Structure 1
């Protein structure tokens, strides 16, 4: 829920700021800035809630803690890459792939009722998944529309 709030609030504030400064709306830029802020926000979680996020990594994967740190770094790089003209389309495709690849972790967190912030098994269960799956889809569409389609 927090990433969605960060995404939408940043989008609205950026959209209004650009309108005020430039006299027109720039929806695609505002959307990319909002996605970048959201990615930076979620990346912080990889470093603050490492133990809980490690619990989300599927069991067959080795080096779980390293994967959590790496995905946090990838989110930071993705946030930056969305604003570099030469690589923003590639970054967008890689972020879409990233969001698809995160689905198994979200499914595991749901099925095992993982609370990644506490590192416990008292999370929201299937409720988390029913919210998270459409949210991942929103992120994918958001990136596609604001970066790939607009290029």
Structure 2
């Protein structure tokens, strides 16, 4: 249950620090950059989970899926690549779009894990966990889209 909170903190952390820095130093910082950094940090967290908790991730996939462990590692590497690209301004837009695709493509594994009470991060709670995970997925997709793909145009310093 702690995992969704960690994800939200990682996602919002750079933007929060940017707002504070902007107010203290009376400078402007870019919302889009900070939002992409937060998404990048979250994706690094996802990558670490795929490597450190690989067996739990394997349990989140139906037994009929072939090569589950290599698939978990492969998707982790994809998440690492997206994370890195979210820190490079030239690649932030395609990386944010890839992040949205990943959130949509990987969500069925979360549903399967919750319905079967297997895996990590609260999935053992069963279907009730989807009351947390589904809104989190919407937040992640909305963040990637509205903050990185179609970003706000005002700098943080203009936020009152």
TM-score norm. by structure 1 comes to 0.85
Structure 1 residues 85-109: Cα deviation after superposition (integer angstroms, max 9, x where no partner): 3332222211111100111110011
Consecutive unaligned residues of structure 1, counting only runs of 5 or more, are none
Match of 1:63 among 56, 62, 67: 67
Aligned pair count reads: 148
TM-score norm. by structure 2 comes to 0.80
Specify the alignment match of 1:149 in structure 2.
Answer: 150
Specify the alignment match of 2:126 in structure 1.
Answer: 125
**1:15 touches 1:30 (CA, 8 Å); kept in 2?**
no
Structure 1 outlier segments of 4+, above 3 Å: 17-22
Residue 141 of structure 1 deviates from its aligned partner by: 1.0
RMSD: 2.3
Structure 1 residues 71-96: Cα deviation after superposition (integer angstroms, max 9, x where no partner): 11111111111233333222221111
Higher relative contact order (CA closer than 8 Å, sequence separation 6+): 2
CA 1:9 to 1:86, structure 2 compared with 1: closer, same or farther past 3 Å?
closer
Consecutive unaligned residues of structure 2, counting only runs of 5 or more, are 154-160
